[in-house]
């Protein structure tokens, strides 16, 4: 029987560890949309290209792998970045030339990507289509059989010199499509997040408007704390603490009053051991939950990484450009000024520095406009000084309004309320687990039986954590998140997905600890055999 229990535990561990990703086994509708986008022809520098069929086949094979199961948002992100990777598609030899003559000397030639953008695009193409040149090796084996298809000459451009900075970057492409709500929210510095019938709005201004289906939240309301139910975890903490005090009292009673008089009441001992196991499971659950939240949703490095991996900075830059272009054209200026001034590099650098300050809790965090001021003063010309100055001030206001990251203030304030609970939970949980282990040793008189109780307790709590995370992934909870402007949506979905993954990893780590306890228990049993 003991061997069966051990096998069951190890089996559950293997299941949890292999359940990190949702199995696909075939190409779903979202993945098919990626293949369709890749298969379409495109124009670059006056010529028309199409991705080689061999690379498309490799892409299909990758997307058909069991561990790949793209969501709609992920597929859209891949498609958006792919449409901005024409330069790398041509330079790396992924394409066939089907019409036209490529020319880099034309005045209408596409602007060269920055080194950073080029490397990111190459990584995307490698992940979807495979390494450059890999398909040619496979193609040679099938060349005779596939020769009946119409062949086209392969023309690969010599890689052009790529600037080491983003200073000359002029175009972002049409990666993101904005709705009217996106533009209005961005202009007002407002972010709206909804899900499960609840809508939260973060605004630069004080707003007390409320409706039946909307909670207008200020930064001080810490709605993220409400979403992760920090108050509920605190209640659980005190309940588990109370039960633990009762369990400790019961163990002491048995050891002193019953076992101390050389009597054994196995039924009473078993009941007390179950109570101890429940308390240990509660403390293990709280400990893993606290660690998951600390390294997931409340981790600044994770937040910034997900912003980089999403299209947040690209979306902000594009929104600023489109809004500024409209303002310029309405005032009789050349709208191309927006592209010249608001480069991705300048927006990225300033926004990243500002976000770092916000997440660190700096109350005086400000967006620097010195560089933008200088660039605008240089570009916004052609009218009288007063008109030009007014236009510059309007564009500066647009710039600062759209770079606001009030969500960061909410995250920081929620983390502040969480931090105290985290340290308290972590310290108390570890102490209580050790105390319960020692008391269970006194209860049974054998450490291997105490190890068995703790093993089961940790295994149960670990399965709850990892199982809940796996269920969240399987149900695609992140896809139910809605937000405006749209670049917040892309960031929040990645942010939530990463937080779920962290909880799953913590749960799997707990299962490994349970396995280690099983091994240790079997070793102790050989020493303290009854």
> pLDDT tens digits, residue range 330-356?
888 888 888 888 888 888 888 888 888
The reported pLDDT for the residue numbered 196 is 63
Average pLDDT value for residue range 304-326: 85
Residue 422 CB neighbour total at 10 angstroms: 18
State the pLDDT confidence band at 169, using cuts at 50, 70 and 90: very low
State the pLDDT confidence band at 104, using cuts at 50, 70 and 90: low
State the pLDDT confidence band at 278, using cuts at 50, 70 and 90: very high
Q: Specify the pairing of strand 191-195 against strand 482-484.
A: antiparallel
State the pLDDT confidence band at 173, using cuts at 50, 70 and 90: very low
For residues 69 and 205, which has the higher predicted lDDT (pLDDT)? Answer: 69
- pLDDT, tens only, 351-391: 888 888 888 888 788 888 888 888 888 888 888 888 888 99
CA distance 189 to 263: 72
- pLDDT, tens only, 207-229: 333 333 334 344 345 667 777 77
Cβ-count burial 48-70 (b if 16+ within 10 Å, e if not): ebbbbebbbbbbbeebeeeebbb
Q: What is the Rg, in whole angstroms, of the alpha carbon atoms belonging to the chain?
A: 30
First to last CA, the chain: 17
CA distance 439 to 431: 12
CA distance 425 to 515: 24
152: pLDDT strictly greater than 60: no
Cβ-count burial 261-272 (b if 16+ within 10 Å, e if not): eeeeeeeebeeb
For residues 171 and 265, which has the higher predicted lDDT (pLDDT)? Answer: 265
- What's the Cα-to-Cα distance from 499 to each of 108, 411, 505, rounded to whole Å? 44, 13, 10
From the list 182, 175, 522, the residue with the least C-alpha distance to 318 is 175
* Tokens found for residue 430: 């570890």
Average pLDDT over the chain reads 76
Residue 297 CB neighbour total at 10 angstroms: 23
The reported pLDDT for the residue numbered 136 is 56
Q: Specify the range with the lowest mean pLDDT, choosing from 29-33, 47-51, 300-304.
A: 29-33
Average pLDDT value for residue range 415-428: 89
Tell me which DSSP letter residue 250 carries: H
* Tokens found for residue 451: 């190890």
The reported pLDDT for the residue numbered 164 is 35
Q: Please give the backbone phi and psi of residue 191, each rounded to the nearest 5 degrees, phi first.
A: -125, 130
Let me know the angle formed at the C-alpha of 260 by 255 and 264, rounded to the nearest 5 degrees: 75
The reported pLDDT for the residue numbered 203 is 66
CA distance 507 to 370: 48
From the list 323, 80, 307, the residue with the least C-alpha distance to 189 is 323
CA distance 282 to 276: 10
The reported pLDDT for the residue numbered 1 is 46
Helix (H) or strand (E) holding 215: strand 215-216
Whether 117 contacts 167, CB under 8 Å: no
Q: Dihedral sign for Cα 90, 92, 96, 102, please.
A: positive
pTM: 0.61
CA distance 57 to 413: 49
State the pLDDT confidence band at 457, using cuts at 50, 70 and 90: very high
State the pLDDT confidence band at 159, using cuts at 50, 70 and 90: very low
Q: Dihedral sign for Cα 416, 364, 182, 493, please.
A: negative
Q: Dihedral sign for Cα 18, 24, 26, 30, please.
A: negative
Q: Specify the range with the lowest mean pLDDT, choosing from 108-117, 394-403, 464-473.
A: 108-117
- What's the Cα-to-Cα distance from 41 to each of 66, 97, 148, 281, rounded to whole Å? 29, 10, 21, 58
The reported pLDDT for the residue numbered 238 is 92
Q: Is the peptide bond before 471 cis (omega within 30 degrees of 0)?
A: no
The reported pLDDT for the residue numbered 219 is 37
Q: Specify the range with the lowest mean pLDDT, choosing from 26-30, 241-245, 344-348.
A: 26-30
Cβ-count burial 109-145 (b if 16+ within 10 Å, e if not): ebebbbebbbebbbebbeebbbebeebeeeeeeeeee
The reported pLDDT for the residue numbered 489 is 84
CA distance 478 to 303: 15
């Amino acid at each position: 029987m003991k061997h069966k229990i051990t096998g069951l535990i190890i089996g559950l561990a293997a299941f949890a560890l292999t359940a990190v990703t949702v199995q696909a086994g075939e190409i779903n509708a979202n993945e098919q949309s990626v293949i369709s986008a890749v298969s379409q022809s495109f124009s670059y520098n006056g010529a028309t290209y199409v991705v080689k069929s061999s690379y498309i086949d490799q892409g299909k094979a990758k997307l058909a792998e069991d561990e790949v199961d793209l969501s709609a948002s992920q597929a859209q992100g891949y498609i958006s970045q792919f449409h901005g990777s024409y330069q790398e598609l041509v330079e790396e030899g992924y394409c066939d030339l089907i019409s036209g003559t490529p020319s880099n000397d034309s005045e209408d030639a596409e602007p060269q990507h920055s080194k950073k953008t080029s490397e990111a695009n190459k990584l995307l193409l490698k992940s979807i289509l495979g390494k450059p040149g890999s398909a040619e090796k496979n193609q040679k084996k099938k060349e005779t059989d596939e020769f009946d298809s119409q062949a086209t000459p392969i023309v690969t451009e010599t890689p052009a010199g790529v600037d080491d900075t983003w200073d000359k970057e002029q175009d972002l492409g049409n990666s993101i499509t904005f709705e009217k709500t996106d533009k209005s929210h961005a202009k007002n510095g407002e972010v709206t997040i909804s899900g499960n019938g609840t809508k939260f709005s973060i605004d630069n201004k004080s707003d007390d408007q409320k409706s039946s289906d909307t909670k207008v939240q200020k930064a001080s309301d810490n709605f993220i704390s409400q979403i992760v139910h920090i108050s509920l975890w605190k209640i659980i903490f005190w309940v588990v603490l109370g039960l633990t005090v009762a369990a400790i009292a019961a163990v002491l009673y048995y050891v002193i009053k019953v076992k101390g008089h050389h009597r054994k009441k196995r039924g009473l001992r078993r009941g007390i051991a179950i109570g101890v196991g429940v308390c240990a499971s509660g403390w293990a659950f709280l400990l893993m939950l606290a660690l998951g939240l600390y390294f997931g949703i409340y981790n600044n490095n994770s937040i910034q990484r997900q912003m980089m991996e999403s299209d947040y900075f690209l979306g902000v830059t594009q929104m600023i450009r489109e809004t500024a272009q409209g303002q310029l054209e309405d005032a009789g200026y050349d709208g191309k000024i927006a592209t010249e001034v608001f480069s991705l590099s300048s927006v990225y650098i300033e926004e990243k520095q500002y976000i770092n300050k916000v997440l660190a809790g700096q109350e005086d965090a400000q967006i620097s406009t010195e560089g933008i001021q200088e660039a605008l003063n240089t570009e916004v010309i052609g009218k009288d000084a007063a008109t030009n100055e007014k236009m510059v001030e309007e564009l500066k206001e647009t710039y600062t309004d759209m770079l606001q990251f009030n969500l960061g203030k909410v995250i920081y304030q929620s983390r502040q309320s969480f931090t105290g609970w985290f340290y308290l939970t972590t310290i108390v949980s570890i102490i209580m687990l050790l105390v319960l282990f020692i008391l269970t040793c006194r209860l049974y008189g054998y450490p291997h039986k105490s190890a068995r109780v703790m093993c089961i307790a940790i295994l149960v709590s670990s399965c709850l954590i990892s199982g809940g995370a796996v269920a969240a992934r399987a149900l695609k909870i992140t896809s139910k998140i809605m937000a405006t402007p749209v670049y917040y949506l892309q960031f929040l979905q990645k942010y939530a997905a990463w937080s779920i993954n962290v909880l799953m990893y913590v749960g799997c780590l707990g299962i490994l600890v349970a396995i280690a306890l099983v091994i240790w228990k079997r070793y102790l049993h050989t020493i303290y055999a009854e």
